[in-house]
Structure 1
């Protein structure tokens, strides 16, 4: 929490300095731009260099962990199924709601142009590939070359196939390979932690460059982005409440009363993990047997990110809209598939790390620039509140649904 606010403060300070220099001494501000912006771009490059190995490691460990959970028993298997249905629903909702919000509440053309200029974007969208080219590009002829060229989509397809193949080998080989990629992921998290420790410096430099290029309009553009993402988050919360009522069969007043302490913890900590004890109490109040909640809720905290597909897709759609990139239906479909995989692979990651590692592969798969994420992560503090609220509502709802559909299993029984 402190780190997120520190990064946000650095962004605001950099933008205020850039605007002040542009107003008081524009020549000096412009002359300093190449040096300051280079520092920001260097930090951004250090951040992006971790994405490819981290995507591979987290995708493999996420899929193998999900498969192992599904093998653990009927309740765990049903829970995983409920999780998959839940994140698919939120992803589909975002594909509909986000473009609608951008159409109903568009950014002023001048503000959009200034923000695009500040982020280094061109107004012309790249040509869309034909359907045949798109399908042929899904499978890499050389996965290592795909990683080297940062062609994310074919790399994700290969990694997904590889991860599912790991789940089919013997227990010893599966444990060895899973351990290898777990170690790789943990190592890359340490590296990205070092990079994010320098985030205030990098974001300050990028904020300064944005303000010098775009002026005051940059603030308006970022506020518009935060509002759109926050509304998508509110839609996730409403969808979770609707599912609690219609699918879990809990009257809304009763569900909300039981969730009030959990929601208070979620707002104050912005952490699903920290909200776990409160969610266990809420589940018990809603009639879930404690021994079932003790299985499903920790599994939900580890694997289930109810809001992630919706809000991550919304970020990519927003960037595509800002840069005037037309997204085809199959690019939308692939973006949803990658968002689902990214949601499963963002196991227990801090918000600033999961923001980059979850959204970058979606953006890469949909042909949308990744560079703006270096600045947008600084304002993720506000949408992240709605992410956490939606996640805890989704966790408790999924627990109620999963527990209601499974009878007690004899001790030690496995499917």
Structure 2
């Protein structure tokens, strides 16, 4: 069956079977007493193999990503304006996401019992007490006096800051040295991705072990929290999609109705493929034929958007992290929110183009480390990510076409988009 060829489908099936089997066996005296420790060890081993790639992969991707942005900036005024819009929209999305999800979780909290069961079943312990970080100590920690120690201690924000300094310094080197270093870190990133793909081949086994452990410990009590998670993250991505229509109308002077009709074919392809790259040819066609975007604008902006811009990335990734904080009883401070937003911005640019399962862990784990949220819940959330991922992709494609519309209207080399015709 085709569904069994999909890693996302296999992982989701493994999660379902593990929870069901664990709930059925839980409390049965015939079940060996050490089964929970064995399944937990298998799941933790798989998670450890996945986690070991995060630090080198994030560092390498940031170096390559900054180099790509630097090269793009030298391509002309339209490119610079596109990157400015990307940065503005991503920053705005981060601020609104934190405010919106905090309000949403306050108005619609996860059932305390379901949250407790999820955390205890996944980590083997009750939720930790709320953390507090003194602002002065946090501010001093931003300067990584020892980047190696920061990496060893999973101090992700100081490491990201060092990586950005390093990456921008690389762009100032003579061309032959810059190319050599960028190619080296590109190779490092590709190597880490190969390792992650190897580890993800065992994802059904790892998720089955973790969900079986969860089921043995707590039955099906965590199901409500997982459903809450799916609805919460999907709602954030849908909000991004809906926000693109008024933005196209206000700044691009294209009516919401026309914009909806123009981009519908690209959204359908995005929904079916869950890949912005695969949708790129259709996006270019929609922009040129349905939105009257000149070839030189569509041909530059849309590939650049697919390469370095995903508007749903910080929205969905922060939603995952804030959900984990919520069910874990962690109350982030302002400093932690700032750290999480900064890391979310950085990884949203650097991790574009990675396979879905790879980008989920690589994008979310650093934000968890920055805000102090446990990453042990990520494999279980990865298993149900197949539904939110659809809305992630549709949101990215919609945002890419919206930005192209804005830049087309502002491009001095072309006429303003023609009004609608009957």
- TM-score normalised by the chain length of structure 1: 0.95
2:198 matched residue in structure 1: 194
Residue 225 of structure 1 pairs with residue 225 of structure 2 = no
Select 1:280's aligned residue among 277, 280, 284. 284
How many angstroms apart in 2 are the aligned matches of 1:329 and 1:276? 38
**Alpha-carbon distance change, 30 to 222 in structure 1, aligned in 2, over 3 angstroms:** farther
Q: Give the conservation status (yes or no) of the 8 Å contact 1:125–1:326.
A: no
How many angstroms apart in 1 are the aligned matches of 2:349 and 2:32? 44
After superposition, the C-alpha distances for 1:341-389 in whole angstroms (9 at most, x for unaligned) are 1011013101110011111111111111122112211111011111011
How many angstroms apart in 1 are the aligned matches of 2:115 and 2:311? 30
Structure 1 segment 44-59 matched on structure 2, within 5 A: 44-59=47-62
> What secondary structure sits across from 1:38 in the alignment?
helix
2:356 matched residue in structure 1: 351
Q: Give the conservation status (yes or no) of the 8 Å contact 1:69–1:77.
A: yes
Structure 1 segment 22-33 matched on structure 2, within 5 A: 22=26, 25=28, 28=31, 30-33=33-36
**Alpha-carbon distance change, 310 to 29 in structure 1, aligned in 2, over 3 angstroms:** farther
How many angstroms apart in 2 are the aligned matches of 1:68 and 1:87? 20
Q: CA RMSD in A?
A: 1.5
2:346 matched residue in structure 1: 341
Aligned length: 408
Q: Give the conservation status (yes or no) of the 8 Å contact 1:7–1:378.
A: yes
In structure 2, stretches of 5+ residues that fail to align are 415-422
In structure 1, stretches of 5+ residues that fail to align are 410-415
Where do 4+ consecutive residues of structure 1 move more than 6 Å?
A: none
Residue 208 of structure 1 pairs with residue 212 of structure 2 = yes
- TM-score normalised by the chain length of structure 2: 0.94
Select 2:383's aligned residue among 378, 381, 391. 378
Residue 298 of structure 1 pairs with residue 303 of structure 2 = yes
How many angstroms apart in 2 are the aligned matches of 1:407 and 1:170? 33
Select 2:121's aligned residue among 118, 123, 130. 118
How many angstroms apart in 2 are the aligned matches of 1:218 and 1:204? 15
How many angstroms apart in 1 are the aligned matches of 2:29 and 2:303? 54
2:321 matched residue in structure 1: 316
Q: CA deviation at 1:174?
A: 1.2
2:418 matched residue in structure 1: none
How many angstroms apart in 1 are the aligned matches of 2:68 and 2:29? 54
Residue 62 of structure 1 pairs with residue 76 of structure 2 = no
